[in-house]
Amino acid sequence: AQSVTQLDSQVPVFEEAPVELRCNYSSSVSVYLFWYVQYPNQGLQLLLKYLSGSTLVKGINGFEAEFNKSQTSFHLRKPSVHISDTAEYFCAVSEWHSGAGSYQLTFGKGTKLSVIP
């Protein structure tokens, strides 16, 4: 069964500084990987996804992530953060379940990013 570990529960960073949010996963099969962002009292918004191909994935709002198969990681990065990036970020892995004939999405516990003015 797949699992997702987000290594930092909270990350404070100064405005315009770079940030990296770490995510490791475990799975016995090929997976798809996602990062979602959740603003207070809202649902989840897809930031970026890795399905196949280039291991460097670019998403919305200037975020990017790199898939590293050997280290089973999918870390999220942004070179310069803004106040508006303050939110909770969730890493998720989607694994094929042959018995059900569908994919199941498993989330990490989230990382709260706080951007300090």
Residues 82-111: x where in contact with other proteins by CB under 8 A, - otherwise, as a string: --------x------x--xxxxxxxxxxx-
Closest CA to 94 of 33, 51, 52: 33
State the burial class of residue 24 (Cβ atoms within 10 Å of its Cβ: 0-12, 13-18, 19+).
middle
Contacts with other proteins by CB under 8 A: the residue count is 23
Q: Which is nearer to other proteins, 14 or 39 (CB)?
A: 39
Tell whether residue 53 is a contact of other proteins (CB under 8 A): no
Instruction: Please name the residues in contact with 16: beta carbons below 8 A apart, sequence gap of 6 or more.
Output: 80, 81, 82
DSSP letter for 84, please.
Answer: G
Q: Which is nearer to other proteins, 17 or 91 (CB)?
A: 91
Which of 42, 55, 80, 114 forms a contact with other proteins (CB under 8 A)? Answer: 42
DSSP 10-50: EEEEETTS-EEE-EEEE-SS-EEEEEEEE-TTS-EEEEEEE
Q: Of 20-28, 39-47, 56-64, 70-78, which part binds other proteins (CB under 8 A)?
A: 39-47
Tell whether residue 43 is a contact of other proteins (CB under 8 A): yes
Which of 8, 27, 44, 66 forms a contact with other proteins (CB under 8 A)? Answer: 44
Question: Where along the sequence are the contacts to other proteins (CB under 8 A)?
Answer: 4, 32, 34, 36, 42-46, 49, 90, 97, 100-110
